[in-house]
Structure 1
Amino acid sequence: MRHSTLIFVVAAFALLTLSRLALALWQWQRVRNAGGLAPLLLRGLRIDAHQIAVLAALPAVLSPLFGHIPAAAAVTSVWYLVAFVLLAFLEVATPPFIIEYDSRPNRLFVEYLKHPREVSGMLWRGYKGALLGGLGALAVIGWAAWALLGHARPDAPLTWWQMPLASVAILAVVILAIRGTLSHRPINPSSVAYCADGMLNTLALNSLYNVFYAVYSMKNEKSASAVYGGMDDDKMHEIVLAQSGLPYPPRNPDFPSLHPQPATRQTPRPLNLVIILEESLGAQYSAALGGADLTPELDALAREAWTFTRAYATGTRSVRGLEAVTTGFLPTPAQAVLKLPRSQRGFFSLADLLGRHGYHSRFIYGGESHFDNMKGFFLGNGFREIVDRQDFVDPAFVGTWGASDEDMFNQLDRLLREDGDRPSFTLAFSVSNHSPWEYPEGRIQTEGNPATVENTVRYADWALGRFFERAKASPYWENTVFLVAADHDSRVFGASLVPVRHFHIPAVILGAGIAARRDDRLISQIDLPPTLLSLIGVDTEHPMIGHDLTRSTPGRAIMQYDNTYGYLKGDDLLVLAPNKTPVQYRYTAPEDYAPVPLDAGLATEALAHALWPSWAYREGRYCLPSQAPVQTEPRTQPAS
C-alpha cells in the first residue's frame, strides 16, 4: 500500500502538472498577459496537493497498519487506478469544455448528466474529432495507469510500535495537504485566484477539484420558492419592477430589470468612488442614531455629509453587506452570491460596470481576501486589483483577522494619491471590529477590559477619523465620492422573528462637494449603489432594482435573517417564515412589534421581492447583456 501510494502521488502530480502546462501553452497569450507560467503552476501545485491528498488519505493513513496484507494491497491498487483514471478523464475533457464555456469543467458538467441523450448527440455531432481523440488519449493514459498501479504489491510489515507512529505521521501530512495552508482558513478556489481572467483562475485548479467544489457549493443554492411558496413569473416581475419605478412589460424581456440611469449630477470628469465598509458597526454604537456614544468621529462626519438616519442592512453577515453594496442584489435564503457557483463570472457588479467607463477597480482588505471567496468573486466580476494582508508593508498591528484598520486606511490613502487623473473605484473593507477584539495599543482611551467590542468600536472609529483628516487635505478629496457604511450590525439577536433594530446601520456619503444633509427616509443597502452612480456623474445602464436616492423615495427595507425574510415598508413589517403563513406587525423603533391584520397586497409584494433574486440568479439574468451566461435549461419553472 505504501508503494502504491507513492506511485499514485507521483503519477498524479505529473499528470496534473503536464495537463496544466499543456493548457497554459494552448492559452499562452492570456497566460503571458497575466504574469506568465510561474504563478499559475505554483498555485496549481497547492490545489493538486489538496486533491491528491483527499484521494489518497484513507489508504495512505491505513497503509502502515494493513499494507502487508495482500487483500488490502489489492483493494488499494484498484482504488488508486480508478482515482487516477477519474483525474485523467476530467483533464482530457477540459479543452473542449474551455472552448465551449471558457472554464474548466464545473457545475454544468454535472448538470448535463441529467440529459444524457441530448448531450451524447451534441458531442457526437459537434465534437466528434475531439471526442474520439479524447477517448484515445484516455485509453493510453488508462493503459499506463494499469502498468503503474494495476499490480498489487504488499508492503514489508512494520514492527508493532512503528505502525501507529507511521500512521500518525502520515495523517499529519495528509491534513496539512488537504488544508493547503497553515493560516486560519483552509484552501479554496479563491486562495489560488491571481488575475482578472476567470478562465486562467480555473486553470490554477484541476478539473476534478473544480467539479467537486461546484457540486459541494450547490448545497448553498436554497430556493426561495421552496421556503416561502411560489408565484407566477409575470406577476412577480410586474410587482418588483413597479416598486422599482421600472416599466412593465420590461424594455428587454430577457433582462427584465435592465434599465438606463442617467446621472442626476453632471461633473467635469468622472469622479472617483470609494466605498468604506465598516465591519459590524451597527447603529447601536452611534449616538447620532440613538445608540451608545462610541463613534464620535463618524458622528462628526455625518454632520458634514449626506447622512441616512434610517438605513438598513440586508443581512447579518459580511458577505451580505458586500453583496448589497457592490452588486445591489437583493438577499435570498441561499448564501450570498459571493459564495454561489453560478455567480463567479459574469454577474453584475459596480466594478465591471465602472470598468466599462474607464475606471480601475480595486479591493483593499487587511485580512486574507480568499475568506468567504471574496477574492474569487471580485476578480471574476470586474475588480482588477486585490490588495490584502500579504501586500501590506510593515503593518502597525496584525491580529487574528489581519492588519489593523489604520493599516488598511494607510493603503487606501497611498493608492488614491497614486491614481492621479485615472478614475478609480475602491472597495475598502475593515477588519478590526471583530472578536477577539484586537487592535494596537496607545490609540484610544479604553474603558475596563481593553478586549471588548465597545473598545474595538472606539478604535475603528478613531482609525476612520484619522483617515478622513488626511483625505480632506489630499489632492483626491475634491474629485472623490466616499460612502461609509456598515456591512451589518454585531450581536444580532432578539425574540422577534426579524430583529429590525439590529439591521439598522450608519450610512453617510461625503466628499467631492456633496452637500451636508440629514435624510430620514427609510432605505436599504441596495439603494446605495445606484445613488453613487448618479453622484459620480456616470450615465449608464444596469440591472439593479435599488432606488437612486437623488431622484426617488423608496420607503422600504429588505432584511434576510437566516430563513426568515423581513419586508419593512413605512412602519409595516411583513415577515415571511419557512412554510408558514405571512404575519404582519406595526413596527416602532427600536423594538416595538404590534401584531396587525395581514395586508394581502403587502404580503404579495414582499413575496415577489423574496422570489425575484432567486429567479434572477438561477436564470442568469442579473448581468449586462454582454455578460449573459449560456442558458442550460428551459425557463419553465415558477419563480424561485
Structure 2
Amino acid sequence: MRHRFAFPLRYFLFWLIFFVAAKGVFLLYHLPKAAGLSAGELGRVFGYGLRLDASAAAYLSIVPFALLALGSLLPARFPLSRLLGFYTAVLGIVVSVFTVADLELYKAWGFRLDATPLQYLDSPTEMAASAGSAPLLLLLVLAGLLILGWLLYKKVCGALPPLPPGFGRGRAALASLLYLALLVVPLRGGVQQIPVNQGDVYFSAHPFANHAAVNVPWNIVNSLFLQNGGPNQYQFMLQAEADRLVREMYAPAPPADSAASQLLRTRRPNVLFVILESFTAKFVAGTGGEKNVTPNLDSLARTGVLFTNIFASGDRSQKGLVSLLSGYPNQPTTSIIKYPRKTERLPHLCQSLKQAGYSSHYYYGGELAFANMKSYLVAAGYDQFTERLDFPLSQQNSKWGAHDHVLFDRLLRDIKTQPQPFFITAFTLSSHEPFQIPIAPKFAGTDETALFRNSVYYTDWALGRFLHAARQQPWWDNTLVVLVADHGHPLPGNDANESPGKFRIPLVLAGGALRPEARGRVIPTYGSQTDVATTLLAQLRLPTTAYQWGYDLLRPARAPFAYYCFTDGLGFQWPGGGLGYDNVSRRPLFIVGDSSQLRRAQAYEQVSFEDFLRK
C-alpha cells in the first residue's frame, strides 16, 4: 500500500522521468544528428541534462506540494486528489506542446525552444507559417507524449492516499511544508553558491549534444527572465577596455578618393529600399553562389554596385529590419524590437530622410503586427503603410498574405502619385517558409532545399518583372534602388547555427540615379547590415552621427569587420578570417585566422548589449 508521505517524492519523480523520456524523443526525432554522437556522449546528454530536468521538475512541483500542505488542514472530503490530477493534466499538455513544437523549430532555427516564439503570439497565423510545413508525425508524437504522461502518472503517482489513522492534520501540513522547503535544492540544481544555468549542461564540442541536454520548459522560463533588463550578462572585460576596443574598431581608414566613393549623379534621388526575405548569398551568383537562381538580381549586380562580403546581423526578419533601417546591432537572446520604449530611441532612415524632405511609404504583403514590427515602423514616422489587409482577399494568395508579384504590382501602381523625392521600403515574403509560390517551379525536387530554391527564383522573377516596368517610368532616372536581404538561411547545405555561410547576404545598389562610371563596381569590403544606413546617408550627404554602430562601406573602418549573433552566441568576420563563440559554454566554436580577434568580438557584444540595456 502506498504511503501518503511518499506521494511528493513520487510526484517529483514522475516529472523527472517524463523529462528524460522527452529527451529521448528529441534524440530520436533528430536521429541523423544523434547518430553522429558516441555512446558516451549520448549517455552524458542524459547525465548532464538531469540537473535542468530536476530543476524543471521542482518548479512544476511547487504548486502540488503547496496544495498538499493546504489540503492536509482541510476536511477529508476536499477533492485534493482530483485537483492535483487536473493541475498535472493541464501542465502536461502545455509541456508536451512545447516539447513537440521544439522538435520542428530546432530544425529551422538551430536552437532549443525559448521565449522567441512568444514574440509572435499576437499573429498566430504568421507564427504557424514560420514553423514551415511541420509533418503530421508531430501530431502522433504529441499524442504519444500525452498518453505516456497519463500512464506515468497513474503508475508512479496514482491516487493520493489518505492520511494514516491517528496522524494529526497539523503534523501532516508541517511534513508537506518540509517537502516544499526541500525543493530548493533541485530548484537551484544543488547546494553550490551559483544556481544551475544552461552552461552547466554543456559538456561537448558538438553543439547538438549540448542542445540536446537542455530542458525545454526550463529554457523557456529562463530566457524570459534573462531578456528583460540586466545586468549585462556579456561582461568579458572591464567596460573601459571594451569601450576602447570598440572605438578603435570604428576608427576611419585614411581618406579615400572622394570622387571614387561617390556613386550618385544627383543629390536627392528617390530611394527604393527593397528587403528580400531570406535571400542568402548562396543563391546569388555574384557572391559566389549558385547560378541561375536569381538571374535578375545577378543582372542588376553586373550593371549596378555589388557588395560581396555583407553579413546579416541576426537570423530573424525583425532583427534584420532594425539593423537595416536603424543601423542597430542584434542581441543574442532577445530583440530590441520587442521593446517599443527602446526602439523609440533608435535613429531611423525614414526619420533622417524625412528631415531632408522625403515622403515615405512602407509596403508589406503580410501583417505588420507580426513580431511587433508595426510599433517600430510607426515610431519611425512612415507617412503611409500598405499591408495584408489593404489587398483584396483574392490577392491574399500566400500563407503569409499577398505574394511578391502582387506586392510589386501595387507598388508600381502607387508610386506614380508618390510625392518626390520618396523613400519607399518594400519587404517581400514569398521566400519564407513554407516556400509556396504561384508559378510553376523552375527547379526539380520536392525536398525543402528545392522548395526554398524555387521560392527565391520566384521572388527574383517578380522583382525582374517589376524592374522591367519601372525602367519605363519617369521617376526611374532619379531613383536609387537598394536591394538587401533581411537575413540569410541555413539552406542549402544545412549550415550550422554559427556558420558564416548562414549569415552572408547580397547587397546591391542599382537604379537610374547611379553615375555611369559607378556601374559594374564590386565592393569586397567586409560589413554588416548595420552599415547599410550609414553608407546610404553618406551617399546622400546627410548626417550619420546618430548611427553609431555603422560605418560607410565605401570609406570603411581601418580594419573592416562584420559582427552577427545567434541564440546566445556571436560570429565575427574580417578579411582573411572569422570566428564563432558560444556564450553559454564560454568557448569558441571555431576560429579561422587571428585568434586575438576574439577579444574585439567580445568587446563589441559587451558594449552593444550594454547600450541595449541603457536604451
Shorter-chain TM range is 0.5 to 0.7
- Indicate which of 523, 541, 546 corresponds to 1:542: 546
The alpha-carbon distance between structure 1 residues 556 and 540, as it changes in their structure 2 partners (threshold 3 A), is closer
Do the aligned residues in 1 keep the contact of 2:525 with 2:553 (CA within 8 Å)? no
Report what 1:491 is aligned to.
490
TM normalised by structure 1 equals 0.55
Partners of 1:497 and 1:184 in 2: CA distance: 23
Partners of 1:418 and 1:529 in 2: CA distance: 26
5 Å-filtered alignment, 1:145-544, equals 220-221=227-228, 225-226=232-233, 228-245=234-251, 269-293=267-291, 294-393=293-392, 396=395, 398-421=397-420, 423-441=421-439, 445=442, 447-449=444-446, 452-491=451-490, 498-511=498-511, 512-514=513-515, 515-516=518-519, 517-539=521-543, 541-544=545-548
Report what 1:564 is aligned to.
569
Partners of 2:546 and 2:278 in 1: CA distance: 29
SS in 2 for 1:330: coil
Do the aligned residues in 1 keep the contact of 2:285 with 2:298 (CA within 8 Å)? yes
After superposition, what is the alpha-carbon deviation per residue over 1:234-293, rounded to whole angstroms, capped at 9, x for unaligned?
A: 33222212211279xxxxxxxxxxxxxxx9577655222222111111011123323222
Q: Which amino acid aligns with 1:402?
A: G
Partners of 1:478 and 1:495 in 2: CA distance: 40
SS in 2 for 1:403: coil
Residue 219 of structure 1, CA deviation: 5.5
Partners of 1:275 and 1:265 in 2: CA distance: 16
Partners of 1:218 and 1:398 in 2: CA distance: 39
SS in 2 for 1:459: helix
Report what 1:204 is aligned to.
none
After superposition, what is the alpha-carbon deviation per residue over 1:111-141, rounded to whole angstroms, capped at 9, x for unaligned?
A: xxxxxxxxxxxxxxxxxxxxxxxxxxxxxxx
Residue 366 of structure 1, CA deviation: 0.3
SS in 2 for 1:277: strand
Residue 229 of structure 1, CA deviation: 2.7
The alpha-carbon distance between structure 1 residues 561 and 416, as it changes in their structure 2 partners (threshold 3 A), is same
The alpha-carbon distance between structure 1 residues 266 and 399, as it changes in their structure 2 partners (threshold 3 A), is closer
The alpha-carbon distance between structure 1 residues 447 and 424, as it changes in their structure 2 partners (threshold 3 A), is same
Partners of 1:351 and 1:388 in 2: CA distance: 18
Do the aligned residues in 1 keep the contact of 2:277 with 2:432 (CA within 8 Å)? yes
Q: Which amino acid aligns with 2:605?
A: A
Residue 475 of structure 1, CA deviation: 1.5
Give 5+ residue unaligned stretches, structure 2.
1-77, 80-120, 129-222, 254-260
Partners of 1:331 and 1:182 in 2: CA distance: 24
Q: Which amino acid aligns with 1:454?
A: R
Do the aligned residues in 2 keep the contact of 1:364 with 1:386 (CA within 8 Å)? yes
Do the aligned residues in 1 keep the contact of 2:577 with 2:594 (CA within 8 Å)? no
Question: Within the alignment, does 1:583 sit opposite 2:588 as a pair?
Answer: yes
- Matched pairs, number: 389
Residue 315 of structure 1, CA deviation: 1.5
SS in 1 for 2:550: coil
Question: Within the alignment, does 1:555 sit opposite 2:554 as a pair?
Answer: no
Partners of 2:363 and 2:312 in 1: CA distance: 21
Report what 1:614 is aligned to.
609
Do the aligned residues in 1 keep the contact of 2:363 with 2:426 (CA within 8 Å)? yes
Give 5+ residue unaligned stretches, structure 1.
1-70, 73-178, 187-215, 248-262, 588-595, 621-640
Residue 527 of structure 1, CA deviation: 1.4
Say which is worse superposed, 451-460 or 425-434, in terms of deviation.
Answer: 451-460
Residue 298 of structure 1, CA deviation: 1.0
Residue 461 of structure 1, CA deviation: 1.0
SS in 2 for 1:506: strand
After superposition, what is the alpha-carbon deviation per residue over 1:89-121, rounded to whole angstroms, capped at 9, x for unaligned?
A: xxxxxxxxxxxxxxxxxxxxxxxxxxxxxxxxx
RMSD of aligned Cα (Å): 3.3
